């Protein structure tokens, strides 16, 4: 259950960061910063990449917790 929470929180944080970076990149070509969602196809690509790295992060955290935690 903890792994699902870690993965979900990681996805939320990473996705927020990805959307901010997307908008920062768009703002370089425009005069002012406006936050907007990318087109659906781009949003799916961003979410897929973010999802893969969130899952990887959740798995690695779980593995490290099991190896580092003191054995009773």
Q: How far apart are the first and last CA of the chain?
A: 21
| Residue 66 scores a pLDDT above 80 | yes
Give me the chain's average pLDDT, please: 88
Residue ranges per structural domain of the chain: 2-68
Please tell me whether residue 1 adopts helix, strand or coil conformation. coil
C-alpha span between 6 and 12 (Å, rounded): 10
Rounded to two decimals, what is the model's pTM? 0.79
C-alpha span between 57 and 64 (Å, rounded): 10
Per the model's pLDDT, the better-predicted residue between 45 and 58 turns out to be: 45
Taking the CA atoms of residue 16, residue 36, residue 22 and residue 60 in that order, the dihedral angle to the nearest 10 degrees is 20
The pLDDT of residue 31: 74
């Amino acid at each position: 259950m903890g792994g699902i929470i870690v993965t979900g929180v990681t996805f939320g944080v990473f996705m927020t960061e990805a959307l901010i970076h997307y908008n920062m990149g768009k703002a370089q070509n425009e005069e002012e910063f406006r936050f907007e969602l990318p087109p659906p196809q781009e949003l799916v690509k961003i979410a897929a990449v973010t999802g893969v790295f969130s899952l990887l992060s959740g798995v690695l955290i779980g593995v490290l917790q099991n190896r580092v935690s003191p054995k009773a």
